[in-house]
């Protein structure tokens, strides 16, 4: 396997980060990998917000949990509580990918997924563990949503798409098994 294939095969979702910062130049490299992503018609309707401020990350986590708890359907909240009650798993750093709706509607979500995976694979290739974090969007779902958008300097009209948590895992984890039943080959 070449280095790229090894990186893809090694990646796993880290849900327990140790308290160790990531060096600034590595973070910049990861952000540049995000910006190198392809996008439909090269519109680049994204904003990469790198958050290294632990106080802000904690505020966002508290707000996200509060919003999740307030929903009538407690499935997601209970899932998080079952995992130790952390949305961000003590990650020292998080990237929020903010996006703007594109035409046709939903196309921006494809770009979002590619950016997120570029971040994840770039980080993995550098020995930096990570986790895509859809739950990050819940931080913006309540009364503090506008405040967070301002704090994170979101561009006008941009919304939180996805978070990616970055840091160093307490323990490495086996990647998920490949489900070959999901592969169809037509000869
Ligand atoms: C779009 C997206 C959103 C995700 N959001 C979360 C999340 O909020 N919290 C979390 O712990 N994992 C999240 N994950 C990680 C998935 O649960 C994980 O990729 C899946 O269980 C497979 O495990 P693996 O990544 O270790 O192979 C997300 C993954 C994707 C692709």
Dist CA 49 CA 149 (whole Å): 10
Beta bridge partners of 46: 99
Question: Is the minimum distance from the CB of 132 to ligand 1 under 6 angstroms?
Answer: yes
Ligand 1: atom nearest CA of 176 is 27
pLDDT per residue over 132-177, tens digit each?
A: 999 999 999 999 999 999 999 999 999 999 999 999 999 999 999 9
Evaluated on CA atoms 52, 55, 56, 57, the torsion sign reads: positive
| pLDDT at residue 59, rounded to an integer | 98
| pLDDT at residue 102, rounded to an integer | 84
Give this prediction's pTM: 0.97
pLDDT per residue over 67-122, tens digit each?
A: 999 999 999 999 999 989 999 999 999 999 999 988 888 899 999 999 999 999 99
Where are the domains positioned within the chain?
A: 14-170
DSSP E strands, 19-134: 46-51, 93-99, 129-133
Residue count (the chain): 187
CATH hierarchy code of domain 14-170: 3.40.109.10
Ligand 1: atom nearest CA of 135 is 8
144 Cα–ligand 1 center, Å = 25
For 8, 36, 45, the CA distances from 2, given in Å and listed in that order, are 10, 21, 32
Overall average pLDDT of the 45-58 stretch: 97
The angle subtended at Cα 12 by Cα 186 and Cα 49, nearest 5°, is 105
Question: Is the minimum distance from the CB of 80 to ligand 1 under 6 angstroms?
Answer: no
Quote the mean pLDDT of the chain: 96
Question: Is the minimum distance from the CB of 84 to ligand 1 under 6 angstroms?
Answer: no
> pLDDT band for position 43 (50/70/90)?
very high
Ligand 1, atom 17, lies closest to the CA of 13
Beta bridge partners of 169: 17
Beta bridge partners of 64: none
Dist CA 71 CA 54 (whole Å): 26
Dist CA 53 CA 58 (whole Å): 9
Neighbours of 177 (CB within 10 A): 6
Question: Is the minimum distance from the CB of 85 to ligand 1 under 6 angstroms?
Answer: no
User: DSSP label at 18?
Assistant: -
| pLDDT at residue 177, rounded to an integer | 97
């Amino acid at each position: 396997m070449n280095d790229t294939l090894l990186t893809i095969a090694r990646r796993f979702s880290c849900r327990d980060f140790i308290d160790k910062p990531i060096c600034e130049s590595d973070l910049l490299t990861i952000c540049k990998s995000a910006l190198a992503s392809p996008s439909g018609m090269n519109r680049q309707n994204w904003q990469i917000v790198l958050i290294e401020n632990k106080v802000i990350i904690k505020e966002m986590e508290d707000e996200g949990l509060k919003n999740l708890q307030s929903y009538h359907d407690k499935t997601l909240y209970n899932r998080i509580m079952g995992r130790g009650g952390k949305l961000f798993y003590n990650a020292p750093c998080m990237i929020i990918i903010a996006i703007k709706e594109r035409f046709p509607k939903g196309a921006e979500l494809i770009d979002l997924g590619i950016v997120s995976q570029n971040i994840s694979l770039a980080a993995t290739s550098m020995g930096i563990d990570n986790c895509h974090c859809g739950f990050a969007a819940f931080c913006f779902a309540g009364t503090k949503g506008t405040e967070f958008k301002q704090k994170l300097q979101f561009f006008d009209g941009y919304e939180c798409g996805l978070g990616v948590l970055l840091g160093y895992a307490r323990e490495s984890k086996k990647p998920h098994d490949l489900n070959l039943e999901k592969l169809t080959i037509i000869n």
